[in-house]
């Protein structure tokens, strides 16, 4: 129960951050990717705020040695930059550019009531589900 409350708080904070930073606006995200057009560098500043704040958590975690509400840190262990990572990043980048949504903002924008957003999220879910049928899917980790 305490785990769920902690996760709900994290998700809520994440959603609030996506709204304040305008990441839920796919046209603004596409304007960031449109370097040759009317370029809007704002999304880079989202990372400028997010990365150091995340690093604080990593430093605190190193001090405490274990999470407050779980036994261990689920530390990503893979080290190699392999074809899978590169291929996946190429595909993700292409889809991100086409529509302007990455997974978090697409979900956070579901409340906009637009059928376009819903269609994108449904296709994204189908893409994730389709991945399970691939033989290499077994070895999947988070990040």
Partner 1 sequence: MSQFTPVSAVLGGILIGLSAAWLWVSLGRVAGISGILGAMTRPDASWRLAFLAGLIGTPMLIAVSGGSVAWRAPVEQWPILIVGGLLVGFGTRLGSGCTSGHGVCGMARLSPRSIAATAIFMATGGLTVFVMRHAWGV
Scanning residues 57 to 96, which ones bind partner 1 (CB under 8 A)?
A: 57-58, 60-61, 64, 66-74, 76, 78-81, 84-96
* Number of residues lying near partner 1 (CB under 8 A): 121
Which residues have a Cβ under 8 Å from the Cβ of 73 and sit 6 or more positions away?
61, 66, 67
To partner 1, the closest distance from the beta carbon of 31 in angstroms equals 6
To partner 1, the closest distance from the beta carbon of 118 in angstroms equals 9
Q: What are phi and psi of 120, to 5 degrees?
A: -60, -45
Q: How far is CA 46 from the centre of its chain?
A: 13
Question: Which residues in the 17-46 window bind partner 1 by CB under 8 A?
Answer: 17-28, 30-31, 33-46
Binding mask 93-132 for partner 1 (x = CB under 8 A): xxxxxxxxxxxx-xxxxxxx-x-xx-xxxxxxxxxxxxx-
To partner 1, the closest distance from the beta carbon of 91 in angstroms equals 3
Q: Please tell me the distance from the alpha carbon of residue 26 to that of residue 99, in angstroms, as a whole number.
A: 7
In b/e form, how buried is each residue of 26-46, taking b as 16+ CB within 10 angstroms? bebbbbbeeeeeeebeebeeb
Tell me if 48 contacts partner 1 by CB under 8 A.
Answer: yes
């Amino acid at each position: 129960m305490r785990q769920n409350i902690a996760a709900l708080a994290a998700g809520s904070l994440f959603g609030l951050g996506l709204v304040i930073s305008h990441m839920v606006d796919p046209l603004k995200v596409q304007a960031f990717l449109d370097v040759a057009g009317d370029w809007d560098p704002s999304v880079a500043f989202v990372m400028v705020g997010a990365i150091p704040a995340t690093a604080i958590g990593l430093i605190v975690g190193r001090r405490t040695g274990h999470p407050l509400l779980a036994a261990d840190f689920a530390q990503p262990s893979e080290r190699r930059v392999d074809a899978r990572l590169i291929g996946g990043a190429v595909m993700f980048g292409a889809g991100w550019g086409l529509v302007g949504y990455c997974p978090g903002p697409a979900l956070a924008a579901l409340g906009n009531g637009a059928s376009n957003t819903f269609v994108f999220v449904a296709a994204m879910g189908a893409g994730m589900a389709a991945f399970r049928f691939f033989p290499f899917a077994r070895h999947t980790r988070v990040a």
